[in-house]
Amino acid sequence: MEQQGSYRADDSSVTEKRKEDHINICLQQHVESQIGPGFDDIFLIHQSVPEVDFSQISTEVTLFGKTLDAPLLVEGMTGGTARAKSLNETMATVCQRLKLGMGVGSQRAMIEDHALSYSYSVRESAPDILLIGNLGLPQFIMGYTGVEAEQAITTIGADVLAIHLNPLQEAVQPEGDCNFESGVKVLRSLKKEIDVPIIAKETGGGMCREVAKRLSFLDGLDVGGLGGTSFSAVEYYRNTEEDREIAAQFWNWGMPTAVSIVECAGARALIASGGIRTGIDMAKAIALGADCCGLALPALKAAVEKEGTLEEMLTRMIKELKIAMFLCGCKTLDHLKRTPVVITGKTREFLKERGVKTELYAQR
Ligand SMILES: Cc1cc2nc3c(=O)[nH]c(=O)nc-3n(C[C@H](O)[C@H](O)[C@H](O)COP(=O)(O)O)c2cc1C
């Protein structure tokens, strides 16, 4: 921990309180962006004679060495409290049953207070799932090194570590950590220190191709695009009256998820998240270039409902993905990735202005 001296230690109870606030706000308030993720602009080509047997369609994908029955993850959300433990357990049990992936929320609280490690540890209920650990880039910029990363990985038996990028959230918090100056350098040295795959994960602001290129040394990207949970909205509710106006202004800031997928296509592994709500969204995300999809807010809401709600929701999404694949005549996800996709409206306008030849997607 060579730079530990420059790390501004946070009181672990403050970190825990913040995570608890996030969960409560997300469950009680409207926190989604008013701008959608862009999937309404995306059309797949309907095949009246699909020439596939629905029962033979495979949604299987291998990601970071783990095979999932469908390209779907419950995104990292929580940890650090007893309630978080119970939510993580529910999500992990369902992901194990459906053979999906799952992330835990920021593990900062357990780095600050090791006694909280139990709340992130789900391997007993989910020995086989693709499990993604989570720490924030601001913490690494302020002094975390491979030591904390290793601790986050080994304590929970993670297969991958996601480093979350949340400049928007930090900027609209009155006390946010806004020095991102050495961000790429810090990620580069972390990558050298750690053997487990590392991905960079946005949290609602989306990702552009310039960032994707600068981070191409990582093992993957999660675009965390605009169109789902808005962390500016979450912070709006946490802020005092006088700080709310700024968070309100940035409620809809960012690169929509559909745009972000196209911009980041070519990453070693590409996860689409931010407003993924149906299996049709998943099919479109994969046709645009994603390897896997993730969802957070609906999974949280389902996990606090009665037993079985989360499993029903995820099962429904996988069925919808399968139907979309059937209607496009695609037997596998590789085939879906090559299927024609028409990009219209604002998404087309945006991508055209960025120099993307959208017609190539429609004519492949
Ligand atoms: C309650 C809640 C807590 C979250 N906490 C984290 C976190 O600790 N680390 C992280 O990388 N992302 C976190 N996220 C962001 C999600 O992982 C995801 O990127 C984002 O919410 C977009 O997905 P969605 O539109 O399906 O909610 C959180 C999201 C929610 C709803």
Could you tell me if 162 and 201 are in contact, meaning their C-beta atoms sit under 8 angstroms apart?
A: yes
Residue 11 has a pLDDT of 59
**What is the C-alpha separation between 104 and 272, in angstroms, rounded?**
17
* Cβ–ligand 1 contact at 22 (below 6 Å): yes
| pLDDT for 14 beyond 60 | yes
Neighbours of 309 (CB within 10 A): 16
Residue identified by tokens 């529910």 is 90
| pLDDT for 8 beyond 50 | no
- Classify residue 1 by burial, with Cβ atoms within 10 Å: 0-12, 13-18, 19+: exposed
CA-nearest residue for atom 7, ligand 1, is 105
Write out pLDDT tens, residues 248-280.
999 999 999 999 999 999 999 999 999 999 999
Kindly state the percentage of the chain with pLDDT values over 70: 97
Write out pLDDT tens, residues 53-112.
999 999 999 999 999 999 999 999 999 999 999 999 999 999 999 999 999 999 999 999
Mean pLDDT of the chain: 95
Reference 191, options 212, 224, 215; nearest CA is 215
Q: Which atom of ligand 1 is nearest to the CA of 277?
A: 26
* Cβ–ligand 1 contact at 183 (below 6 Å): no
Q: Is the dihedral of CA 49, 314, 207, 146 positive or negative?
A: negative
Write out pLDDT tens, residues 323-346.
999 999 999 999 999 999 999 999
| pLDDT for 2 beyond 50 | no
Helices (DSSP H) in 128-256: which residue ranges? 137-141, 146-156, 167-172, 183-193, 209-214, 231-238, 244-249
Write out pLDDT tens, residues 228-245.
999 999 999 999 888 899
Residue 235 has a pLDDT of 95
Neighbours of 2 (CB within 10 A): 8
* Cβ–ligand 1 contact at 321 (below 6 Å): no
One-letter amino acid at 80 equals G
CA of 77 to the centre of ligand 1 (A): 5
| pLDDT greater at residue 125 or residue 9 | 125
| Domains of the chain with bracketed CATH | 4-362 (3.20.20.70)
| pLDDT for 3 beyond 80 | no
Interval 199-210 mean pLDDT: 98
